Structures are given as structure tokens and as C-alpha cells.
Structure 1
Amino acid sequence: MFEFLWNLGSFIVALGILVTVHEYGHFWVARKCAVEVQRFSIGFGKPLLKWHDKLGTEYVIALIPLGGYVKMLDGRVDEVPEHKRHLAFNSKPVLSKIAVVAAGPIANFLFAIIVLAAMYMIGVQNVKPVVGGVTEQSRAETANFQAGDHILQLGDKSVSSWQEVTFGLMSNLGEEQVVVKVQDAQQQIRLRALPLNDWKLDKQDEAPLQSVGIQPFRPEITLTLAHVQAGSAAEKAGLQVGDTIRSIDSEPVQSWQLLVDKVKESAKQPLRIIVIRAQEEISLTVIPGANTLKSGETVGYLGVVPQLAEWPAGYIETRQYGPLDSMVLGIKKTYELISLSFDMIGNLITGQVSVKNLSGPVGIAVGAGNSVSYGIVAFLSFLALISVNLGVFNLLPLPVLDGGHLMYYLIELIRKKPVSEKTQELGFKVGALLLIALTCFALLNDVSRL
């Protein structure tokens, strides 16, 4: 329950910030273009809080935190008095309309730049992208990747973290190959030609690294417990943080995977575990809980997390930048995220990325909760990523989105006359149906991940 409430609260905070930024973009430019703004609403439905400013705009925080809107005076939907017609949105020149509509997505992009700049000023902690292993019969094995390879560059882009490696792979979807520069375990510079022909992300939640067969280096998993879940089978049996597993059912435990395998096959069956606690051997009896997988198989679980051995020296680095460098990096990173987002939309259309990878509100809520748990830098990175995605999504040429309105106004700019009301109404209906279908599909994907 706590995890659910934490994710929900994080989701509301994150979405509230991003929607406010987006709608404020529309609001600010509308005011600059002398359009009367009647309402600025964050959320839909019943107002929880509302107030007015001296210009008569009503500000609303509403019950359903799944979006927002700016209501402007518009002769197409309102009875506009003669003395106010010059303040109506529909009476403005087409360039002013374009500016007001485009301001929302642009605000999201500017917000991402600011957030990323703040993140770089605080300091970004990166894990050096060193290969820990290579999956057999994978693309990485074909390219002769070896454990210990430190990835330095993908194509013409230098990389310093696994996130940059992942984004680099995704940006090369559709290419025949990408040349990867690495420094091997013997400190020699090597070039690995990673084949990407016919490569697709067509499995739900399969990470790009996993898909090509690269396993990031991770410190060895110890047999000492770092966390015991409250209410779990482990806690009920008396296991504690700091306990080191010695044996299970009289069988010495040589690795964490051996313990996992034994527990999985022992759902609801008592197991005798010997642990070392404060240099003493303690015998405990634990009855693993049962968890049913999507396949229908029932497996046992304890509810514990192991400690990891310490990272080797130099594998984790924190990079902190000054204000100017941080702003330059923020602009560069935002541009890369925008480009990647458009690339992914294209790959979804062509089928190179499966629609099973789409996420809806539930997926965003989980991501928000996880990022908050990892600290302010992770949360800022999450906000920037979602802000860019929100901006790009709103630029899609669906009539119910900003991109659809921009499409109509660009046509008006070229034809010197507006698109007919009948055509616009039909477009809005079709766009609404497509948007609802897309949202439902993303929600189904979210539910299937639970």
C-alpha cells in the first residue's frame, strides 16, 4: 500500500509540474498576443481550489490530475461582445495563433533545459560503461565484445554512462551496424562492429542492451542481506539485515543464484536456513511465499535483497559543472532527447519498436516513484525526459493535440484562408478516437506489467 501511495503521490507531483509548465506556455504567449484568457486549469473535473487575478482570469486546481487546459475567449465557441472581439483568439492573425499553440510544447522543451542544467550543477553520478558479460549467440558475441570492454564511443558519439550507451543504440535503430570503440581489459583500444541489421525492439520491456546481448558489469552479489521486506516470509522467519546465508536444507550456499533457485522451487515448503549473525551460527526455519507468474507457474520467494560487493575504484564518477557549462549541456541533452523521441515515434510506425513498449499513466507513476526514491538528481532527469516526451507527443499532427492545431494553422497560412469548420470537426473526432485508443493500449501495457 505504501508503495502504491508513494508512486501515486510522485505521479501527481511530476504530472502537476509538467502540465503547469505546458499550459503556462500557452497562457503566457496568449497574454502577450492580447488574447483574453478566461481560465487556467490544472486538472479536470470538480474544482478543489480557485481564485481570480486582476485581469479576470480564473485559476483552478481540479480533482482529476491528468492534464490541464487554458480557456481563451473564442468566437467559435462563445458569444463575444463587439467591444471584446479584438481579444478573441479566433480574431488574431494566424501567426499569433501558431505562436500561442506552439508555446506549450516549447515551454516543455525549455523546462527540460533548465531542469537538466540544474541536474548538472548539482552533480551527475555515472557508472562507467564496462561490459560484465556477453550473451551467447547474440549480436554482441558476433561483434567479439569481451567482458572488461570499456565502451568509449558509439559511431561518432562519445559515451560515459550506460544511459548514453542505451540512447546511442536506440538512435541507431534501422542501421546495418554501429562501430563501437572500446578499451579492452588489457587497456588496448579496439573497434567492435556491432551488427544491427533487422534489429527490432519487439519484446515488451526488453532493454536495448539486453536485446543486443551486452550485460553491464555489476559488483558481485554477496550472501549478506541488505534488506528484509516488512511482512515477508523472511521477516516472519526472523531473518535480519546483515545476516549472511551459510546453508539451506544442509546444502552449502555458494552463490546467491543457488539460493534463489532453491527458494523458487520451494513455495510454501519449510526450509532450514543457517545464517551467520554477529559471528554466531543461527538456525532458522522459513516458509517461502508463493508468487504466480504470467505463465501460470508458481514460484517461491523470501522477500530479501542481497548486498553487493564494493564497486572497483574509478567505476563510479560524479561530474559537476558550472552554470554556463551546465546550460550548454542542458541544451545539448534536450536536443538529443527530442531527436530520439521523434526517432522512436518513427520506429513505432515502421514496427522496429514494438507498441508493447508504450507506457501509460501507471508506467509513468511507477517511474516517478522510483526516481524520487533514488534522489533529487534522478527525479530531475525523469522530469526532463517526460517533459520532452510530453512536448513531442503534443506536436503530433492529431487534431485534438497542439500539433493538429498547428497543422490547420499552417494550412491556413499557405492557403490564405482557414480550414473549413466541417473538416476541422471531423478531424477532431477522428483524432479523439485515435488518442483514446492509444491511451487504452498504453494502459493495457501498464496492467500487463503489474
Structure 2
Amino acid sequence: MIQTPGLLLTLLAFVLVIGPLVFVHELGHYAAGRWFGIKADVFSIGFGREIAGWTDRRGTRWKIAWLPLGGYVKFAGDMNPAGQPDADWLALPVEERRRTFQAKPVWQRAIVVAAGPVINFVLAILILAGFALAYGDAQTPAVVGQAMPGTVAQQIGLRAGDRVTALGGRPVETFEDMVRFVKIRAGEQVRVDYVRDGAPMHVDATIATQVQRDRFGNEFRVGLLGIRPAAPVVRQVGVLEAPVIAVQRTGQIVQMMVETIGQIVSGRRSVKELGGPLSIAKVSGEQITLGPEAFVFLIALVSINLGFINLLPVPMLDGGHLLFYAIEAVRRRPVAPQTMEWAYRGGLMAVLALMLLVTFNDLGNFGLWRHLACLIG
């Protein structure tokens, strides 16, 4: 039976995920700016018209806008999207100009920009470290417990007790490493290296495609070898080790994201699998019904995604700013304003195009186009 969380719970869950993460992200920018003595004019959660807000004693306007799909910090002197000085900035009094973003050296501006994505990763690491402390570190050895009948694992001759050492040339140490590799490579041919009775062996295999369906009716296309794992080993971890495990798991998640993007760019994975705010809202509603652990873990995943996406070298994103600051540091002078302007126009076009694409995908996943086709037909 398909379960649905309902519209109100979905909207609430979406706000509970996006709102705090956007606040934390922008708080990173704000805190770094404060550290370097930069005045913040506006701290906004959401875009568009202000629905609530206040001004603190430092002159910063803290506000909540009606469209909760992001946020921003506007530093003093930041008078254009590219953050370039202009005539208005030059006309400011000297003391006031010193507290503006453009007046700071390039390394300080870079830290302010990078602080947003970094704090998203830090938040995710703290959450994952908490999970490691609470539930321990489960590591299942990369040993075949059983090659399931009728699966690829049985067809290529794997047996119970075989230890898989590499997949596609990539070393694996745990069963979880194998799952992460196979899951995003449905239909691909890979080399399987393994050890049987002390002797190294290898065989080529084509990863099977399995369509899974969850309790909410969502379908997922995942790769499958058909290996049942050996008994898992769960060990308790201490306070000092938990952050290390959390960093490792964050790195594994980022690695999967990079590989998935590479598959989309190379055409091995369809762009239809890209999701946007509507998908995040849908998943948020579903995860909140599964309990606090699932919902908090989702927050960690979205936080990693938010940090990673913002570090991409695309103008309009934090990574685009960092790219131009790197060029400025090497050339010892800023990029020409005209170049910056055209780059940011192109970045804006790319971001808007991506938003249209993911929204189109989201509406398709919700069945809108199928229903419209039925009505027209």
C-alpha cells in the first residue's frame, strides 16, 4: 500500500530542512565577514518581499522573505552581483569604505565566500558523528556470504567465502564500499577481483539493473550484483573517533555525487534523474514520517549537497567567486569588470536553465505530464 505524508506535512518538513540549512550557510558568510570587520547590511532567509524582520544595533537588517528557496547576506559596499567596486563605492567615506567587502584583501574575501559551504559540511559532519556515537560503526567485510540464485554473482561463479578486493579496478575493503560502487553503475561492465582460498582471481561482470519501489511509491533504478553479505561487525566508537568516521562518510557521499554528475555529463545516466526543490520537499515529507533519525540524516545529506553545489565553479555560486579570486591572486589584479559581468550573466542563465530542467523533471516525477497526455488524448 502506497503511503503519502500529505501536503501540509510535506511543506512543513521542507521548511524544516531548507530553512535551517540556508540559515546556517548564510551564517557562515556572515560570521566570517564579522571576523574580518565587514559590515552586513542585510541577512535574508528567502527571496522576494519581506514578511518579517528586524534591524540590530549594528545596522544589519535580519529578514524572512516569502520565497524560502535560498537566502543571502548583503555586505556593505556589495553594490553589484559580481561584487566589483564602482563609482558609488569610491564615493564612500574612507572609514566606511574600510568596512566594505571590496576593501578587504583577496584572501579574506575568499574565506568569507568559502565559509558558507564549509559550515554546511561541518554541520553534516557533526550529525554523522552523532550517528556514529549513538549507533556505532557498522563495517561488513567484503566477503561473499551467498551468491543469490539467478543473479549476476551466481552467473560469474562467485561462492560463499570469496573476498572481493576490487571492482572496476577500484579497491574495496567493506561490503558498504561494494554497495556504493555497484548502486550507481546499473548496466555497466566491470572487472571483479577477488580472492578464493588465498588465490587471487578475477572475472568480468555486467551489473544488473533492479527497479526498487519504496512505501511511498517512488521507483529507483539501482545496480545489483546479487551478493548477500557475511555477518556485519558493529563496533562502538569514542568521541575522538566519531568525527573521523563522519569525515570519511562525508567524503564517500561527495565521491558518489561527483561520479553521478560524471555519469550524467557522459550520457551514462539520464538528466531526468536530476531533482529540484519539489523533489526535496517530497523526500522531506516522506522522511519525516519515517522517524527523527531518518529526517535528521536527510538534513545531513541535503547539507552536503548544498555545500558541494555551492562550491562548483559556476558564476553566481560561491565556487564561481572563488574561481575569480584565485585568478585575481595569480594575476595580482582583479578580473576585468566586463569579463565578470558577462561571466555572471552566463552563470545566471545556466542556473536558471538548470532550475527549469529540474522543475520539469519534478513535475514529470509527480505524474503531471502523464496526466496531461491522458487528458489531451
Do residues 73 (structure 1) and 73 (structure 2) align?
Answer: no
Counterpart amino acid of residue 168 in structure 1 = F
Over aligned residue pairs, what C-alpha RMSD do you find?
A: 3.8
- In structure 1, the partner of 2:317 is 401
Do residues 31 (structure 1) and 34 (structure 2) align?
Answer: yes
Q: Structure 1: which 5+ runs fail to align?
A: 218-313
Where 1:31 maps in the other structure, the secondary structure is helix
1:63 deviation in Å? 1.6
Where 1:208 maps in the other structure, the secondary structure is strand
Change (3 A) 1:6 1:428: same
Counterpart amino acid of residue 386 in structure 1 = V
1:382 deviation in Å? 1.6
1:131 deviation in Å? 6.3
Q: More helix by proportion, 1 or 2? A: 2
Counterpart amino acid of residue 24 in structure 1 = L
Do residues 159 (structure 1) and 174 (structure 2) align?
Answer: yes
For residues 181 and 95 of structure 2, what CA distance do their matches in structure 1 show? 56
1:445 deviation in Å? 1.6
CA contact (8 A) 2:153 2:227 kept: no
Where 1:64 maps in the other structure, the secondary structure is strand
Where 1:207 maps in the other structure, the secondary structure is strand
- In structure 2, the partner of 1:241 is none
How high is the TM-score relative to the length of structure 2?
Answer: 0.77
- In structure 2, the partner of 1:417 is 333
Aligned pairs (5 A) from 1:236-251 = none
Where 1:321 maps in the other structure, the secondary structure is coil
- In structure 1, the partner of 2:215 is none
CA contact (8 A) 1:25 1:103 kept: yes
Please give the per-residue CA displacement for 1:371-420, whole angstroms capped at 9, x wherever unaligned.
22222222232222221111111111111111111111111111111111
- In structure 2, the partner of 1:43 is 46
- In structure 2, the partner of 1:290 is none
CA contact (8 A) 1:154 1:179 kept: yes
For residues 319 and 372 of structure 1, what CA distance do their matches in structure 2 show? 28
Where 1:74 maps in the other structure, the secondary structure is coil
Do residues 114 (structure 1) and 126 (structure 2) align?
Answer: yes
CA contact (8 A) 1:152 1:181 kept: yes
Change (3 A) 1:323 1:338: same
1:434 deviation in Å? 1.0
- In structure 2, the partner of 1:98 is 110
Aligned equivalent of 1:349, options 238, 243, 265:
265
For residues 130 and 3 of structure 1, what CA distance do their matches in structure 2 show? 41
For residues 38 and 443 of structure 1, what CA distance do their matches in structure 2 show? 32
1:15 deviation in Å? 0.8
Do residues 195 (structure 1) and 205 (structure 2) align?
Answer: yes
- In structure 2, the partner of 1:60 is 63
For residues 23 and 131 of structure 1, what CA distance do their matches in structure 2 show? 49
Where 1:322 maps in the other structure, the secondary structure is coil
1:159 deviation in Å? 2.8
- In structure 2, the partner of 1:207 is 221
Please give the per-residue CA displacement for 1:121-155, whole angstroms capped at 9, x wherever unaligned.
2226979796684666xx54543357x88987655
How high is the TM-score relative to the length of structure 1?
Answer: 0.66
CA contact (8 A) 1:44 1:67 kept: yes
Please give the per-residue CA displacement for 1:41-81, whole angstroms capped at 9, x wherever unaligned.
11112223212333221211222110010110126446534
- In structure 2, the partner of 1:392 is 308
CA contact (8 A) 2:137 2:237 kept: no
CA contact (8 A) 1:126 1:318 kept: yes
Counterpart amino acid of residue 413 in structure 1 = A
1:189 deviation in Å? 11
1:428 deviation in Å? 1.1
- In structure 1, the partner of 2:249 is 333
Change (3 A) 1:366 1:54: same
Please give the per-residue CA displacement for 1:324-353, whole angstroms capped at 9, x wherever unaligned.
221111111112222332232223222233
For residues 3 and 182 of structure 1, what CA distance do their matches in structure 2 show? 50
- In structure 1, the partner of 2:374 is none
- In structure 1, the partner of 2:278 is 362
Change (3 A) 1:125 1:315: farther
For residues 47 and 441 of structure 1, what CA distance do their matches in structure 2 show? 28
- In structure 2, the partner of 1:236 is none
Counterpart amino acid of residue 105 in structure 1 = P
Percent identity (aligned): 31
For residues 93 and 219 of structure 2, what CA distance do their matches in structure 1 show? 55
